[in-house]
Structure 1
Amino acid sequence: MGLLDKMKAKLGPAKEKVGGLAQQHEGRIHKGLDKVAKTADAKTKGKYHDKIASGTDKAKGALGRIAHKEGPGGQSPPAAS
């Protein structure tokens, strides 16, 4: 068994646990991301507003994919309305 195989075997249970925690605390994480984005935007006086907003949106998208993944193929997260 190669090094990568050993690492994948050990990370499997951790990956499932992270998905469960992300799903359980998704709302709190979203609020935290918004708070950090607002603080960063204020500190830079709006100079990087577009980049901060883009990064926040990407982080929220990744969180949604992690929180709503089911099984090995995964399921796409619900569409935002």
Structure 2
Amino acid sequence: MGFADKAKDMLGDAKETAEGLAKEHGDKIDGAIDKATEFVTDKTPDSVDDKVRAAAEKAKDAVDQLEGEPDTPHPPSAPN
């Protein structure tokens, strides 16, 4: 087995682990994203709040894809 095959196997294992963790702890991850969003919007100028919230939604979408639930609507992060 060559280097590329070993790397491919390791990445496959990592993806499976990430999927399992997302399925098991998806709600906690979404909560952490919300807390981080609130913290960042509190510490940065209001002009970047929309960008921060958009990034948070993309992060939640990525978690949903790992959970196997793409296109799940999320409630918007509360504005300050």
TM-score (norm 1): 0.78
CA distance in 1, matches of 2:51, 2:24: 28
- Contact 1:19–1:66 under 8 Å retained in 2: yes
CA distance in 2, matches of 1:32, 1:16: 21
Match of 2:53 in 1: 53
CA RMSD across the alignment: 1.9
Match of 1:77 among 62, 70, 74: 70
Matched, 1:13 2:13: yes
Q: Which runs of 5+ in 1 are unaligned?
A: 69-75
Of 39-48 and 3-12, deviating more is 3-12
Of 51-60 and 13-22, deviating more is 13-22
- Residue 78 of structure 1: how far off its partner (Å): 5.9
TM-score (norm 2): 0.79
Matched, 1:35 2:35: yes
Aligned length: 74
Q: Which runs of 5+ in 2 are unaligned?
A: 75-80
More helix by share: 2
Determine what percentage of the aligned residue pairs are the same residue.
Answer: 35
